[in-house]
Structure 1
Amino acid sequence: MKTLLLFTTLFFSTFVLEDATAYWGGTLVYMEVLPFWVAYLAVGGGIFVGDMLLYTLGRYGENVKFLGLILAKIHKGIEGHTLYHWLSNFVNKNFIFSIVVSRFVPGLRLPLYYLSGRNSKSIALFSVLCFLLVSIWTYGLFTGLSLLKTKFAFISSFSVYQIFIIVFLFFLVVLKIFTILVYSFLDKAYLYKILSLRYYEFWNPNFFYIPVVFYYFYFLIRYWLPPNSISCVNPCFKYGGMSFDSKYDMLSKFKSFDRYITKTVFISPLVNKDEIDIEKIMKEKGLNFPLIAKPDKGHRGYGIKKVSNLKELNDYFENTKEAIIIQEFIEYPYEYGIFWLQIPGEQGTIASITRKSIPLIFGDGLHTLRELILKDKRARFIASVYFARHLKHLDTILPKGEIFRLGIAGNHCQGAMFENGVGDLNEAVLNKITEISSSIEGFNFGRYDIKFKDIETEEGQTDFKIIEVNGSEAEMTHIYDRKHSVFYAYKILFYQWKMLFIIAKKNMKSGIKPISFFLFLKLYITFFFKTKLPKLSD
């Protein structure tokens, strides 16, 4: 009875956690709880049946009424992703190889077996391959554990649970290393993503900012400030200019300098989009296509899209539930991030100037866009971003001399290149930005994103447009210039956060109150955990 129960448990557990169940079955054999062939048939049989079910789901699932609706919805959400197309092409071009590789690489089996069925690959060949591979894999795993017992007798003193944990962790590490090697071999974009870790500019922000988080709490204690104190750094903005502040409201504070502000229209999420007369609004504001559409509350360039006609704009409306803004598309060729810093009562200064540039790909008449991106010395390190953005053009061979722009958004995480731009702008431009900043009462800390028509104009000419203003969460983005070290980057970040708290302390002493802690917490949680912004931009 016990044997039958374990057999059934192992068999059906493979449908949920295949690898973990295989290790558990091997451990039961190792500890002589189950005979070798009982565990072998339970694990191997369960895995094989699961493989065939995945294939069947892919091939015939859409023909089942209720299931078909679910699958159709899933397909609609994933068919635009680069990985989906890459895996589908991989199955079509390398069917046998893809099945063999997926047996030994965690994470590949589900999509590749499902796509094998969806792409109508031979069911006979698929079943034979799976049967052989499952037999070899399961037998090899169980035999390996038996050899482990023979070679390392001291392990016999461990309990069945300890053995399972040891075996599971060992295989987890080995398979992880193997997975990285296989993915790197199969997908060059994945390889360069691994190699990009050499440069801190490509590190995940959640990892990169760990030291800053500790520094943040250090300053809270040092200056005896509440976490919500940063909301009073810029009293001119509702919440200090944080990510959950309205971009439209922040730009509106600069309306006295209308000549330098990008024309912007706010669309509330509460209005019925079907009743909005977009053409009338555009005419009133003097806007023409193309336009830029983006979330009114956001960060890291998420959700920015260039729309060239009314249909594209309406599609953007339909796909968002948040407030949005539409702006004139400024075709000026130069973009800079200019950081303003002012301690209340003292003279302000421009603390950072960042030159932003979008990488360009030059066609040679021989290689596809995909190949040219992977050949570019910088673009290849964030190829996955460009691949997802230009999915439809990846296999297009660019004519010789054709220039292909890889993006529009001047955000680092969207692929823009940041360099230290000190010395690029003339005195007249810097004086004008200082004049604008100083005239806005309560604007102490933040960054302008500005486009310039020309940076080599004669002294006195100041032809530029402010696209966006960022407040208390803004970065001095020149830190992402690869010429600098990670230690320099942290030095600048620590400095700007120190200044942030000095300003907050001074404002609170003068009677300016931050928003309540509970409101701060609510806004933070709502924006960062509940607001769904599309991470990919144009």
Structure 2
Amino acid sequence: MRLFLHKLTNWEYWPFQVVYIPIYFLWAYYALKSRSLFFFNAVNPTIKNGGFFNESKKDIYDLIPQEFYPKTRLVLHQEQLELPELTFPFIVKPDVGLRGSAVKKINTIEELQTYHNQVNFDYLIQDLIPYPNEVGIFYVRFPNEQKGRITGIVAKEFMILTGDGKSTLEQLIKQDPRYELQLEVLQKELNEKINTILPEGEQLNLVPYGNHCRGTKFIDASHKITPKLTETIDAMCQQIDGFYYGRMDLMYHSWEELENGQHFAIVELNGSASEPTHIYDPSHSIFFAWKEIARHITYMFQISQQNHAKGVPYLNHKEGMQEYRKHQEHFNLITQV
């Protein structure tokens, strides 16, 4: 009952379909103006479906200069797993992902083999990024403008336990509702280790990647938008062909270095399906969230219109529905992992 009330009184845990109810009307309005339900296809011309669904993460990484992201390798699930030189641990994630589903940290060859045998989709092996901090930066650039802008920043607070020398990991997890909501998944991942007593003062990062659905706390850091940071991010994004709208998740060493374009790496770059995830700061109301989502969908519509005027097509209804059905089938696959 305690967890049920926690989810009920904190909108960040509400189902996606419920949160977006008012937004569907705005989407319908823009679809009518565009004469296409799938107008988002034109927002990022070099990314499949504009990055709304069924886009390959590997294809997106290939658009980004290598210096900005960690070593990433595509593994085809239907082929026999080959084991080149690997540096453990590393991250595995679906090539076509969905809100952090099936993302895992792999520590041994045995864990990798188990993951490979279990999945029915292609996936990526990606080196761990050696920086302690993570943010999501939302970037927008209109095709008829020279420079882009940052429209929101989300900082990420990982699920980190601090030992007291008496409590087991499970007991520590149960002290925080945000952590306890992840208990079932953590029990499967940690197995017997969940009964380990963490020494006093020692810290353990339970989930080393910043996914909200895996318990990471999102904090609105939009006040950190500065001309210097905007210049740095814009200069990088200008090198990504055909990218006008989306959120990039970055890991970095220090904020000053990030502003100066030093010691950071892109974890992931998302296109038209990107959410302005700073809305999930627990201090924000659902009304703030609706306002920010509407603002960003308006940007997406305007960018799509400008690209469409330059000859970038929208998806027609038949193509869009085919892509959506593929998306649903893939969703069913990755959520089983």
SS of corresponding position for 1:338: strand
2:50 to 240, 245, 259: 240
CA RMSD of aligned residues (A): 2.4
Aligned-residue offset at 1:530: 4.7
Deviation readout 1:474-519 (Å, 9 max, x if unpaired):
0111001112111001000011111111222222222111234322
Query: Structure 1 CA distance, aligned partners of 2:307 and 2:175?
Result: 51
Match of 2:318 in 1: 518
Query: Structure 2 CA distance, aligned partners of 1:493 and 1:201?
Result: 14
Query: Structure 2 CA distance, aligned partners of 1:384 and 1:193?
Result: 15
Contact in 2 for aligned 1:424/1:455 (Cα 8 Å): no
Task: Confirm whether residue 350 of structure 1 aligns to residue 150 of structure 2.
Answer: yes
Q: Structure 1 residues 426, 383: closer, same or farther in 2, change over 3 A?
A: farther
Deviation readout 1:73-104 (Å, 9 max, x if unpaired):
xxxxxxxxxxxxxxxxxxxxxxxxxxxxxxxx
Query: Structure 1 CA distance, aligned partners of 2:135 and 2:165?
Result: 33
SS of corresponding position for 1:397: coil
Match of 1:254 in 2: 64
Query: Structure 1 CA distance, aligned partners of 2:264 and 2:282?
Result: 27
Query: Structure 2 CA distance, aligned partners of 1:384 and 1:458?
Result: 36
Task: Confirm whether residue 324 of structure 1 aligns to residue 126 of structure 2.
Answer: no
Match of 2:76 in 1: 268
Query: Structure 1 CA distance, aligned partners of 2:77 and 2:199?
Result: 43
Query: Structure 2 CA distance, aligned partners of 1:486 and 1:458?
Result: 31
Aligned-residue offset at 1:356: 1.0
Q: Which has the higher strand share?
A: 2
Deviation readout 1:424-472 (Å, 9 max, x if unpaired):
4776544221101123342111111111022244973511011111000
Question: Could you tell me the percent identity over the aligned residues?
Answer: 31
**2:19 partner letter:** F
Match of 1:484 in 2: 284
Q: Structure 1 residues 321, 441: closer, same or farther in 2, change over 3 A?
A: same
**1:273 partner letter:** Q
Where relative contact order (Cα < 8 A, 6+ residues apart) is larger, the structure is 2
**2:28 partner letter:** F
Query: Structure 2 CA distance, aligned partners of 1:419 and 1:515?
Result: 35
Match of 1:293 in 2: 92
Deviation readout 1:245-304 (Å, 9 max, x if unpaired):
00000111113xx2112211112345x215x3x21xx4xxxx522211110001111111
Task: Confirm whether residue 216 of structure 1 aligns to residue 27 of structure 2.
Answer: yes
Q: Give TM-score, length-normalised by structure 1.
A: 0.58
SS of corresponding position for 2:251: strand
**2:48 partner letter:** K
Task: Confirm whether residue 361 of structure 1 aligns to residue 161 of structure 2.
Answer: yes
Task: Confirm whether residue 315 of structure 1 aligns to residue 97 of structure 2.
Answer: no
Match of 1:455 in 2: 255
Write out aligned runs for 1:180-199 (5 A).
Answer: 184=1, 191-199=2-10
Query: Structure 2 CA distance, aligned partners of 1:205 and 1:406?
Result: 25
Match of 1:200 in 2: 11
Task: Confirm whether residue 474 of structure 1 aligns to residue 281 of structure 2.
Answer: no
Query: Structure 2 CA distance, aligned partners of 1:214 and 1:484?
Result: 22
**1:262 partner letter:** P
**2:280 partner letter:** Y
Tell me whether 428-437 or 455-464 shows the greater mean CA deviation. Answer: 455-464
Query: Structure 2 CA distance, aligned partners of 1:532 and 1:494?
Result: 28
Write out aligned runs for 1:347-496 (5 A).
Answer: 347-376=147-176, 378-380=178-180, 383-384=183-184, 386-387=186-187, 389-424=189-224, 428-457=228-257, 460=260, 462-496=262-296
Match of 2:303 in 1: 503
Aligned-residue offset at 1:194: 3.0
Q: Which has the higher helix share?
A: 1
**2:141 partner letter:** Q
Q: Structure 1 residues 243, 262: closer, same or farther in 2, change over 3 A?
A: farther
**2:75 partner letter:** I
* Aligned residue pairs, count: 336
Q: Which has the larger radius of gyration?
A: 1
Contact in 1 for aligned 2:63/2:241 (Cα 8 Å): no
Q: Structure 1 residues 242, 290: closer, same or farther in 2, change over 3 A?
A: same
Query: Structure 2 CA distance, aligned partners of 1:342 and 1:424?
Result: 19
**2:246 partner letter:** G
Write out aligned runs for 1:144-163 (5 A).
Answer: none
Contact in 1 for aligned 2:156/2:219 (Cα 8 Å): yes
Deviation readout 1:411-430 (Å, 9 max, x if unpaired):
11111111112344776544
Contact in 1 for aligned 2:98/2:331 (Cα 8 Å): no
**2:47 partner letter:** F
Contact in 2 for aligned 1:196/1:381 (Cα 8 Å): no
Match of 1:29 in 2: none
**1:468 partner letter:** E
Q: Give TM-score, length-normalised by structure 2.
A: 0.91
Q: Which runs of 5+ in 2 are unaligned?
A: none
Q: Structure 1 residues 421, 508: closer, same or farther in 2, change over 3 A?
A: same
Aligned-residue offset at 1:382: 5.1
